[in-house]
Amino acid sequence: MPYLSNINLNKKLHNILSNYHTYIATPVGVLKLIATEKGLAAVLWENDDATRVTLSEGMRFDEHPVLVETAIQLQEYFAKKRKVFDLPLDFTGTAFQQQIWQQLLKILMEKREAMVIWPEKLPMKSPSGQ
């Protein structure tokens, strides 16, 4: 059994060393942003339940490129200068959660593509000729 404990300890240690976080002030309160080498992993509310996300916050690193870009895009969003986010994401969860997130992304992308293509399919003139 000690071997299994070492595996779990190594996983936790890896998460601590590979995750980074920062804090940003927003109109909805202070948000904690957590990122990995792959992308943004979590956005947590100021008084969020720590057990809701099982992800380690890792070490604070305000200059992490993903965290910096996330902060910029969130500030643009709150200033009403941005409607769509363009960030690399790192979904952490069970296999089932991963499948759900991938399906949601697929639906969102299809909806976004339909919104871009749909106006192009409209006739140039209305049926009444106007």
User: Mean pLDDT of successive 10-residue segments in the chain (130 residues)?
Assistant: 48 62 96 94 88 85 96 96 93 86 84 63 56
**Domain 2-90 belongs to what architecture?**
2-Layer Sandwich (3.30)
The whole-number pLDDT of residue 9 equals 44
Name beta bridge partners: 23. Answer: 32
Q: Where are the domains of the chain?
A: 2-90, 93-122
Cα–Cα dist 91/29, whole Å: 24
The whole-number pLDDT of residue 60 equals 94
The whole-number pLDDT of residue 52 equals 80
Q: Which helix (H) or strand (E) holds 2?
A: helix 2-18
The whole-number pLDDT of residue 13 equals 45
Cα torsion at 26, 29, 34, 38 (round to 10°)?
-40
